[in-house]
Amino acid sequence: MSASDPPARIHRRQYLRGATACALASALPNQQSLAAAGKTVTLRFSHVVAQETPKGLAAQRFKTLTEQRSDGRIQVLLYPDGQLYGDQDEIQALQLGAVDMLAPSLSKFGRIGFPEFELFDLPFLFGQVADVRRITQGPLGKRLLERLGRQGLTGLGYFDNGFKQMSANRPLLAPADFAGLRMRVQASRVIAAQMRALGAQPVTLAFSETRRALETGVVDGTENPISNFWTQGMHEVQSDLSLTEHGYLGYAVVVNQRFWQSLSGADSALLGQALREALAYGNDIADAQNDKALAALRQAGTTRIHSLSETQRARLRQTVEPVHRALANRIGLSWMDAMRDALKQGA
């Protein structure tokens, strides 16, 4: 553990306040001089999902590669499952230097001043992951990551979880099935608008609070790829999962800019290479992890699983179509145009 890790009993928020005063003043110069001297570097990587998810496994791979290649000189401390910070405070913690690396979902950048990232949330935008790549691997993806510099973040890359499904205590196969349901959403206006278009009421909640909110009836349903649904035990509190595949969930890896600049060239190259390989690995296993979770879910028998016919999917798609136009101004018309151009290329 590095000296700046919060003691277990100190509440995260309390620690954050303390971190405001001391993280930049002490931890960072310390890291700086250590990195410059080719000595130990500690990178704290916090995320909100379980280890056995595409993100959890990619983070683990990054740690293994980094530590192997640096002979343990660069240490990666992983804090999965929101054990250190949740959705509400992780980006602030990164900006303060209380942690060094995060991989928030792309949906979570809108509320910190980058609504253009919400283009990834547009329902039924991507037919397959290859479509997502046309954005993330091209100039548009690069420009989006560069934007993050305005908030003291350095964006290092993207990777997938996969396509989202809908859950509730009833099948969700037609717009009428959503009527009046309170659906947990991430803090994305596009996703909120999608739920409203379906006739549901969106309720923004942190990921770590979702299972409990489903259990206690604070919300009736939610959306997520199956790996997140399964590893959070949401199947224990939701009777029906509908395989709608209506939207994409992916991540951007971000680091604290000052931390990144404080590294020696050799260390940032080593970390950059380890990360590229870890993200490629994460992308390779993402589908398999979601398939594995689906198989486990079928085996558990707690939750009915519904496939949608083409007609049912088309009906849902038609219902949420107006969201693209309605949210275009929020995302930004030039970003929308660039996104359409990127999707056309190679299509």
End-to-end CA distance of the chain: 48
- Report residue 24 as tokens: 């930049």
Closest CB to ligand LMR among residues 23, 178: 178
Closest CB to ligand LMR among residues 160, 267: 160
Per-position x/- string for 188-207, each x denoting binding to ligand LMR as judged by CB under 6 A, each - no binding: -------------------x
Nearest approach in angstroms of CB 20 to ligand LMR is 25
Nearest approach in angstroms of CB 214 to ligand LMR is 12
> Residue 167, interface with ligand LMR (CB under 6 A)?
no
Nearest approach in angstroms of CB 224 to ligand LMR is 5
Per-position x/- string for 227-246, each x denoting binding to ligand LMR as judged by CB under 6 A, each - no binding: -x------------------
Q: Could you tell me how many residues of this chain bind ligand LMR (CB under 6 A)? A: 9
Nearest approach in angstroms of CB 297 to ligand LMR is 17
Closest CB to ligand LMR among residues 41, 144: 144
> Residue 49, interface with ligand LMR (CB under 6 A)?
yes
The span from the CA of 50 to the CA of 66, in Å, is 21
Stretch in the footprint of ligand LMR (CB under 6 A) among 47-55, 191-199, 255-263, 274-282:
47-55
In 151-245, where does DSSP find H-type helix?
A: 189-197, 207-216, 226-231
Closest CB to ligand LMR among residues 178, 251: 251
Cβ(26)–Cβ(4) under 8 Å?
yes
Binding to ligand LMR, residues 267-296 (CB under 6 A): none
Stretch in the footprint of ligand LMR (CB under 6 A) among 48-56, 135-143, 192-200, 274-282:
48-56
Binding to ligand LMR, residues 107-166 (CB under 6 A): 161
- Dihedral of CA 270/273/279/284: which sign? negative
Residue 257 CB neighbour total at 10 angstroms: 18
The span from the CA of 296 to the CA of 29, in Å, is 47
The span from the CA of 14 to the CA of 88, in Å, is 14
Q: How far is CA 157 from CA 86, 221, 283, 314, in A?
A: 21, 31, 12, 32
What does 51-108 look like in DSSP terms, one character per residue? TTSHHHHHHHHHHHHHHHHTTTSEEEEEE-TTSS--TTTHHHHHHHTSSSEE--BGGG
298 burial type by CB count under 10 A (0-12 exposed, 13-18 middle, 19+ buried): exposed
Answer for which of 224, 238, 242, 319 binds ligand LMR (CB under 6 A) is: 224
> Residue 105, interface with ligand LMR (CB under 6 A)?
yes
Nearest approach in angstroms of CB 106 to ligand LMR is 9
Which stretches of the chain bind ligand LMR, using CB under 6 A?
48-49, 55, 105, 161, 186, 207, 224, 228
